[in-house]
Structure 1
């Protein structure tokens, strides 16, 4: 088995394990709240305000990337929401 095949198998195993884990991370509520609070139209405008590339917001929205400290601080600075409020939004239950 070559390195590429092992890497692909490892990625598949991690994805299967991730699918089995209960996750409380709900990025859509966080991102949608920011868009609403900042009177933006969409994720593209949010990217410009937060000064991040569109793939970053896309990966966060699709739960492939967690909200890092730098983006969290930018969200706080731009929205005036507290860090705790932002974390609560991203960990809200999905009911």
Structure 2
């Protein structure tokens, strides 16, 4: 009976790990890229329309196992950096969207 419980627990843990790993998104970041940071602790002004993404920040260094070192280019001290988990980041495409909309306006003419 103990062996059966051990096997059942092990198979359950494997299924949960598979489900969790399936939800993780593989993103590749390179130094010099601009990214947005997800701030889950932002509770100052709760509201539906308040964005939880802050930034853009610049990637300074990519460490192994998904650790990313960020720098805020708009800060008064550009040398100050901090380390975050790569799952809390997404690529910033603000500039590309503006260029794309400009191209679409040129095509319409």
Please indicate, yes or no, whether the TM-score normalized by the shorter chain is above 0.5.
no
> With structure 1 as the length reference, what TM-score do the two structures score?
0.30
Q: Which has the higher helix share?
A: 1
> With structure 2 as the length reference, what TM-score do the two structures score?
0.27
Larger Rg: 2
Q: Which has the higher strand share?
A: 2
Q: Which has the higher contact order (CA 8 A, sep 6+)?
A: 1
